[in-house]
Chain A
Amino acid sequence: MSQFLEAVINGACVGAAYALLGLGYVIIFKATEVLNFAQGGMLLFGAYMCYNAHNTWGLPWYLSMVIATLAGALFGLILEQVALRFLVGQPVFAQIMVTIGLLFVIQEGVNLVWGGDALNMGDPWGLTTVTVFGAIISWAYIWRLIMAGVALIAFFLFFRYSRFGTAMRATADDHEAAMAQGVNPNRVYVAAWVISGACAALAGISFTTGSAQLQPTVQFVAIAAFPAIILGGLDSPGGAVVGGLTIGILQNLAAAYVPQYLSWLGDGFDKVVPYLVLVAVLLVRPYGLFGTKEVRRV
């Protein structure tokens, strides 16, 4: 029981970070139909900015987090302005490839500024643990879960109730109708990139604190978040959260129980689990659990 609880809570913590990343993907996809491969680059930038603020400038941890989040948001804005803005109306495939090109450039940029060696973000939340029903949970995990939870709740409140959030949803639904109501779609696209950049920065911080180290290869976590968004549906923010948590928890459960009960499956099976879940779901529901089914006309 304690092992189960540990796997679920640790999984939820990783899953919450996946959810943040996934939300970043979904927001951009919903606004512009672009699958943003540069998300990994934004994640790197955010994490390194946090490192820079905390370890190089010596700022307090929470202030560093805020700075990194704002820097991530600004970075999203810059990417939109220097590259993606020129591609509105181009084939989606071309836009996806441009984000891949950006990823290569960002990755080498980070390499240039901070170097390729592994850096240590430190243990901002300490190493203490708490015991819940016999399960030993690290406080750092709980804090990471809370951080992601607060960010997600803030986003959904904004998206659901604020004036601009409503404008974003309207644009995603039908951007011509939204324009007729006075919404400026360009501002919505920019906002999508800004939110996505901030989410990626927070996820980056979550993935690189504690025992995990900060190095350029961390960006591939962003690709590991793909199953989460496909599972939830590419254009459903709520789906990204459900998908992220599901994938995180299932992966941790597999890591905990496969060696015990299905040892013939061997090492590394937990890394395959997200994709197996993905395949099973996609064969039944090709647009994910909550994704909008595409209406196809001749």
Chain B
Amino acid sequence: MARARSLHTAYAQDLTVFRGRSTRVALAALIVLAALMPYWLGSDWLQTFSIAGCFAVGSISLNLLTGYTGQVSLGHAFFLAIGGYTVGHIANDSSAGVIFWLLLVAALGAAVGAALGPFALRLRGSYLAIVTIGLLYVSDYVWNRWTWFTGGGLGEQPNPPLTIGPVNFAKLSGIGLDTREQGVYLLIWLVVVVVAVLSKNLVRGRPGRAMQAVRDRDVAAEAIGVSLVRYKVGAFAVSSAFAAMAGALYFGVVLRTITPELVTGPQGLFLSIQFVAAIIIGGLATIYGSIIGALFIAVIPELTRRFGTHLPFIGDDKLITVNSFNNVLFGALIVLFLVIEPYGLAALWRRIKLYFLTWPFSY
């Protein structure tokens, strides 16, 4: 008799990272497939997927904060900027490898995130959302003034070493990958996997449950012994550490440039909103949903950029330019998802899976 896999009969089942053998096999196949991509795709598509990887790290970080702990941040670009600037200033031309600068960036991000703790503790909901937008405006001044660290308005051109031990990701000739884009793609998705596993580990056990208790009702959580200081400030620290890593990869490795204009004001706000959109489209309070959402956000604009011009109304001399169309599409997707499927693609997937698991008795 087949066992119903959606029914958990032991606490340990609830705690597992990957449920069931088939999930593990599917995941392994997916990882192998992703690892083989550099052999098949051109460098422009690899670049798109590298950006998607950076967004995935950023979305996971925001999901820990917003999806699990219920604290909305509309200023995540600020934390990414910390990562980007740190890499640009410290890791340039140094000999220490990826692990060194990623850890350094994460530590700095965590410190800044924890320093914002008093706000996280005292403010709720919309008040916190607005203060995080304020971060973008205050940091604009800081990035422009601290020229010794940020290079002022011209910004920095980061060029960090891409080595882990003896492996140099900028040139993986040993396995037949000569271009930088191929190595960068592998490096970034390696980080995504590490961050995803770390996050999953964080949310599946005691801290994750505490965070969700804080999200659902913080006074009640406090009453049953969850320390609000620890989990509200902690969520900010962990989230900004991962966000700083995402920024180090995005600005430091993929774009290789960072200026105040990119991370503050309208562009910074747009970047921050993209992460919120990614976790909404992917699914709040799911780790794999964050990755799906990030892929969605990064790949869809690229698709319209490439194939959209075949449509009769998109193009520079037609009704609407590609960029404008992407903006409309982005806005419309957010609205549609929230109106039709508020729990995102992850919920859609879950429903389809449940339908087949319980077939033919799916109600």
Q: Is the CB of B134 within 8 A of A268?
A: no
Chain A residues near B127: list those with CB within 8 A: 230, 234, 282, 286-288
Selected contact of B134 from candidates A33, A104, A226, CB within 8 Å? A226
Asked whether B288 is an interface residue with its Cβ less than 8 Å from the other chain, the reply is no
A294 contacts B by Cβ under 8 Å? yes
B127-170 vs A, Cβ < 8 Å mask (1 yes, 0 no): 10111011001101100110000000000000000000000000
Complex Cα distance, B276 from A112, in Å, reads: 26
Any B CB within 8 A of the CB of A227: yes
CB-defined contacts of B309 to chain A, threshold 8 Å: none
A29, A104, A230: the one within 8 Å of B131 (CB): A230
The residue on B at minimum CB distance from A297 is B219
**Residues A275 and B138 in contact, CB atoms below 8 Å apart:** yes
Q: Which of A105, A230, A294 contacts B328 (CB 8 A)?
A: A105
Residues on A with beta carbons closer than 8 Å to the beta carbon of B125: 92
A90 within 8 A of B: yes
CA–CA, A297 and B66, complex, Å:
22
| Cα–Cα distance between A25 and B118 once the two chains are bound (Å) | 26
> A107 near B: Cβ within 8 Å?
yes
- Does A298 lie within 8 Å of B223, measured CB to CB? yes
- Do most interface residues of chain B lie in helix, strand or loop, or is the interface mixed? helix
B207 part of interface (Cβ distance < 8 Å): no
| Stretch from B232-240, B265-273, B300-308, B354-362 at the A interface | B265-273
Q: Assess whether A271 is in contact with B123, with CB atoms less than 8 Å apart.
A: no
Count of chain B residues with Cβ under 8 Å from any Cβ of A? 48
* Least distance between B109 CB and chain A CB atoms (Å): 20
A159–B324 Cα gap in the complex (Å)?
39
Counted as pairs of residues, one from A and one from B, with CB atoms less than 8 Å apart, the total is: 127
Which single residue of chain A is at the shortest CB-CB distance from B330?
Answer: A104
Q: How far is the CA of A226 from the CA of B328 in the complex (A)?
A: 24
- CA–CA, A34 and B66, complex, Å: 17
Given contacts A94-B342, A97-B276, A296-B219, contact A102 B328 (CB under 8 A): no
Contacting pair A226 B133 (CB below 8 A)? yes
Contact of A86 among B66, B265, B330, B339 (CB under 8 A): B339
What's the least CB distance linking A59 to chain B, in Å?
28
- Known A97-B277, A100-B273; judge A90-B342 contact (CB<8 A): yes
Nearest chain B residue, comparing its CB with the CB of A219? B266
A153 on interface, CB distance cutoff 8 Å? no
Chain A residues 85-109 with CB under 8 Å of chain B are 86-87, 90-94, 96-98, 100-105, 107-108
Most A CB contacts (10 A, CB to CB) among B218, B324, B332, B338 go to B338
Q: Counting CB contacts under 8 A, is A35 at the interface? A: yes
Within the complex, which residue of B122, B134, B223, B269 is in contact with A286, where a contact is CB–CB below 8 Å?
Answer: B122
A280 within 8 A of B: no
1/0 contact string of B259-281 vs chain A (CB within 8 Å):
00000011001000100110010
Assess whether A156 is interfacial by the CB under 8 Å rule: no
Cα distance A33–B126 in the bound complex, in angstroms: 9
A97 contacts B338, C-beta separation under 8 Å:
yes
Rounded to whole angstroms, the CA-CA distance of A98 and B337 in the bound complex is 9
CB distance A35 to B130 under 8 Å?
A: yes
A272 located at the interface, meaning its Cβ lies under 8 Å from any Cβ of chain B in the complex: yes
B335-A98 in contact (CB<8A):
yes
Known contacts: A269-B141, A275-B134, A294-B124. The answer to whether A98 contacts B339 by CB under 8 A is: yes
Task: Report the minimum CB–CB distance from B142 to chain A (whole Å).
Answer: 9
Nearest 3 A-B pairs (CB), nearest first? A104-B331, A101-B334, A101-B335
Q: What are 5 A-B contacts with C-beta separation under 8 Å? A: A87-B339, A97-B277, A105-B327, A108-B325, A271-B137
- Other contacts beyond A83-B339, A108-B328: 6, CB < 8 A: A90-B342, A94-B342, A102-B331, A108-B324, A266-B145, A298-B223
**Residues of B participating in the A interface, judged by any CB pair closer than 8 Å:** 66, 72, 118-119, 122-127, 129-131, 133-134, 137-138, 140-141, 144-145, 217-220, 223, 265-266, 269, 273, 276-277, 280, 319-320, 324-325, 327-328, 330-335, 338-339, 342
